[in-house]
Amino acid sequence: MTGGSPAIRLTDLRKVYGDRAAVDGLNLTVPGGCFYGFLGPNGAGKTTTIKMLMGLAEPTSGSIEMLGRPMPDGELEIKARIGLVPDETLLFDQLTGPEFLEFVGRMYGIEGKVARERAAELMELFQLQDASRRLINEYSKGMRKRVAMAASLIHRPELFLMDEPFEGVDAVGARLMKDILLEQIRRGATVFLTSHVLEVVERLCQRVAIIHNGRLVVEGEIEALRSGSETLEDIFVRVVGAGRLTESLEWL
């Protein structure tokens, strides 16, 4: 699918807050069927970009196309075909995990019996079956992340938008989530994620884009971006111009 139409195309995308451009003329094409990492230092514009893709923030200018449809004209059709894991896992805390997953399934038009069955299967897949009777407000942060990812899967989307999906997740949970996402890639879906854990991105992603001050500074396949034996962390530090990261302190 990577040779077909792009899953995401951003053209001159810009978002201004007051007199500051959080995203400043971003041009980006994400191939279909790709595991794609969207990186940048704090405040670079990653979450703002994700919010615009999710329809939670309106661009100041430029255009967004996802799955061959323009935003916002095709927003309803697009949202029916994407799975979302936002940075802040805003779940319904007074529901149990299965109840929340069933609710999400019904919102996507899945018949009640099927939604209940899928909810139970996803709770088991994400190793949350022991917490099936507990309210979500009793879940740890890592468990909430698992439920959020389970909810993003229930309607078998073609495109996943994920903002820090592994934050607060333990090693076992992270490995489980990675394996599930890789399986989605194998079936032809596209994953677009942000993460500060560069080792995870390096292991999972085929391509990356790095933005700084709202602008794209580098994009491409990780192997093609390397200079010699560089790691992704080395590439990141080099292109964002971090220079020397620590200064000597006489007393330290």
For residue 108, the model assigns a pLDDT of 94
Rounded distance between C-alpha atoms, residue 206 and residue 208, angstroms: 7
Task: Kindly state the average pLDDT of the residues 96-123.
Answer: 95
Mean pLDDT of the residues in the chain:
90
For residue 1, the model assigns a pLDDT of 41
For residue 157, the model assigns a pLDDT of 95
Residue 217, CA distances (Å) to 25, 105, 235, 246 in order: 12, 39, 11, 23
Per-residue pLDDT at 243 exceeds 60: no
Per-residue pLDDT at 90 exceeds 80: no
For residue 149, the model assigns a pLDDT of 92
> With bands split at pLDDT 50, 70 and 90, how would you rate the model's confidence at 3?
very low
pLDDT digits (tens, 9 = 90+) for 181-237: 999 999 999 999 998 888 889 989 999 999 999 999 999 999 899 888 889 998 998
For residue 245, the model assigns a pLDDT of 52
